[in-house]
Amino acid sequence: MHDIKFIRDNPKEFDRIMQRRGIGNPSVQLLKIDEKRRKLQKDLQALQAQRNELSKQIGKLKSSGGNADELIAEVASMKRIIPELESEEQGIADQINAILLSMPNLLDNAVPDGTSEDDNVLLRQVGDLPKFEFTPRDHVALGVLTNGLDFETAAEISGARFVILSGQIAKLERALASFMLDIHTLEFGYTEYLPPALVNSNTMTGTGQLPKFEDDLFKTTDGRWLIPTAEVPLTNMVANQILDADRLPIRMTAYTPCFRSEAGSAGRDTRGMIRQHQFSKVELVSVTGPNESSLELDRMTSIAETVLKRLKLAYRVVKLCSGDTGFSSRQTNDIEVWLPGQAEGEGRFREISSCSTCGSFQARRMNSRFRKAGQKETEFVHTLNGSALAIGRCIVAIMENGQQRDGSILLPEALHCYMGTDKIRLTT
């Protein structure tokens, strides 16, 4: 959500930043409508002041025995006109609000220009790519050998883009969740939550999923929504609040199912677990003051990297360009893990985490503020979110990187105590 006052005062700067997102000069239309609203507000105020003054005159005339019929008729006429103008003003206000809700966040100056993922900037690559003496299989083939992934039965039960995990692969999902949550809570000070997976429209609007991405969401018959990520309920836990500054930063984590219709995916990644309608994720959410959000983004990215380092998975970190940065994000670092079984055994990096700072964008939509000690004024908080990590893609990475010639899978040492074994063996 944007501050209309900022747009009034800085229309050229606002348009310049929006042009980086491929949106040309939105301030022109917006300010034209805003000017109409402000004129209407001025007229309303003048009319209300006139009505109040006439009401005083009527009172004086009546008390002195004078005839107030003409003034009474004039006030009665105003009482009919004022609600009509108020309704018109509210309609214009709703129109402005709808436009503001549809516009993406302002980009940070650190975000590089570009039109697609091809223009993202590599920040670092960590870990050695594994070498195989055979052509590595993808996780779908390995899932057959280990009897751990069943796409066919899932399709019969639910349709395309679902999977059933079983045996040691199902246990791996649970192990990874516990492993990640232990890191985040015990080492980095996050508080664990288990939020609802169903939320209302206000909650989705607060974090920016509505109205822009309605087609990519699943909606229930009673008007609620399945969460696309735990970011949605966690961030909204500070909605409509004024926080004490000494409470910041607030750091939250949750392991939840996530649901995405993926209406805009255009048939991409239809094979395997890369892009599913339902998947699980451990999410990180931070609420900070404006001066701390940039450092918090670096910290959050580092924490997500810690998980991959402990699992000894090769990865790279990229800064998303202007054309690839998400709607609610001011700046995003993506972490891409190496998947050797992709591209028919040639391998490729695939996103496993996005860490974003949203600035005050979500806070304005949620009306989430903080107040410094001894001050009357409030400021909007800054919000951040990041995957740490997407568990399905983490399973894919462990399977493909740990695979042996016979199809068995060596597990990262960090998971041995969670799994009770060092290896996922073939079924007989």
Q: State yes or no: pLDDT of 1 exceeds 90.
A: no
pLDDT at position 396? 98
Torsion of CA 54, 55, 60, 62, to 10 degrees: 110
Closest residue by Cα to residue 245 from 339, 422, 377? 377
Backbone angles phi, psi at 127, to 5 degrees: 90, 150
In whole angstroms, give the CA distance from residue 75 to residue 51.
Answer: 6
Q: State yes or no: pLDDT of 267 exceeds 80.
A: no
pLDDT at position 103? 95
Range name among 95-99, 153-157, 263-267, 324-328 with the lowest pLDDT average: 263-267
The answer to whether the CB of 340 falls within 8 A of the CB of 218 is: no
In whole angstroms, give the CA distance from residue 148 to residue 144.
Answer: 7
Which sequence spans correspond to the domains of the chain? 4-102, 117-424
Name the amino acid, one letter, at 327: F
Question: Which class is 117-424 in CATH?
Answer: alpha beta
Q: Average pLDDT in the 378-405 region?
A: 97
Q: Is the dihedral of CA 342, 346, 352, 357 positive or negative?
A: negative
The answer to whether the CB of 340 falls within 8 A of the CB of 137 is: no
Q: State yes or no: pLDDT of 263 exceeds 70.
A: no
Place of tokens 């001011």: 330
4-102: CATH architecture: Orthogonal Bundle (1.10)
**Tokens, residue 379:** 């400021």
- Residue 71 to residues 43, 47, 65, Cα–Cα distance (Å): 20, 14, 14
Q: What percent of the chain has pLDDT over 70?
A: 98
Q: State yes or no: pLDDT of 66 exceeds 90.
A: no
Task: Please write the tens of the pLDDT for every residue from 93-150.
Answer: 999 999 999 999 999 999 999 999 999 999 999 999 999 999 999 999 999 999 999 9
- Cβ burial 187-203 (10 Å sphere, 16+ → b, else e): ebebeebebebebeeeb
The answer to whether the CB of 381 falls within 8 A of the CB of 369 is: yes
Backbone angles phi, psi at 172, to 5 degrees: -60, -40
Q: State yes or no: pLDDT of 270 exceeds 80.
A: no
Distance of alpha carbon 317 from the chain centroid: 19
Q: State yes or no: pLDDT of 274 exceeds 90.
A: yes
Task: Please write the tens of the pLDDT for every residue from 194-217.
Answer: 999 999 999 999 999 999 999 999
Band of the pLDDT at 69, cuts 50, 70, 90? confident
Active site residues: 260, 275, 351, 354, 393
Q: Please give the mean pLDDT across all residues of the chain.
A: 94
Backbone angles phi, psi at 382, to 5 degrees: -110, 145
The answer to whether the CB of 357 falls within 8 A of the CB of 296 is: yes
pLDDT at position 428? 63
- Cβ burial 412-424 (10 Å sphere, 16+ → b, else e): beebeebbeeeeb
Task: Please write the tens of the pLDDT for every residue from 284-306.
Answer: 999 999 999 999 999 999 999 99
Please count the other Cβ atoms lying within 10 Å of the Cβ belonging to residue 375. Answer: 9
Band of the pLDDT at 26, cuts 50, 70, 90? very high
Secondary structure of 37-81 as H, E, C letters: HHHHHHHHHHHHHHHHHHHHHHHHHHHCCCCCHHHHHHHHHHHHH
Task: Please write the tens of the pLDDT for every residue from 347-357.
Answer: 999 999 999 99
DSSP labels for 167-184? Answer: HHHHHHHHHHHHHHHHII
In whole angstroms, give the CA distance from residue 271 to residue 160.
Answer: 10
Name the amino acid, one letter, at 35: E
- The verdict on whether omega for the bond into residue 211 sits within 30 degrees of 0, i.e. cis, is yes
pLDDT at position 265? 58
pLDDT at position 266? 58
Task: Please write the tens of the pLDDT for every residue from 160-176.
Answer: 999 999 999 999 999 99
Higher pLDDT, 140 or 80: 140
Task: Please write the tens of the pLDDT for every residue from 404-426.
Answer: 999 999 999 999 999 999 999 98
Range name among 34-43, 232-241, 258-267, 334-343 with the lowest pLDDT average: 258-267
Task: Please write the tens of the pLDDT for every residue from 347-385.
Answer: 999 999 999 999 999 999 999 999 999 999 999 999 999
First to last CA, the chain: 56
In whole angstroms, give the CA distance from residue 66 to residue 113.
Answer: 74
The answer to whether the CB of 168 falls within 8 A of the CB of 419 is: yes
Residue 38, C-beta contacts closer than 8 angstroms, at least 6 positions apart: none
pLDDT at position 79? 85
Length of the chain counted residue by residue: 428
Sheet holding 242-244, edge to edge: 242-244, 369-371, 379-380
In whole angstroms, give the CA distance from residue 424 to residue 172.
Answer: 9
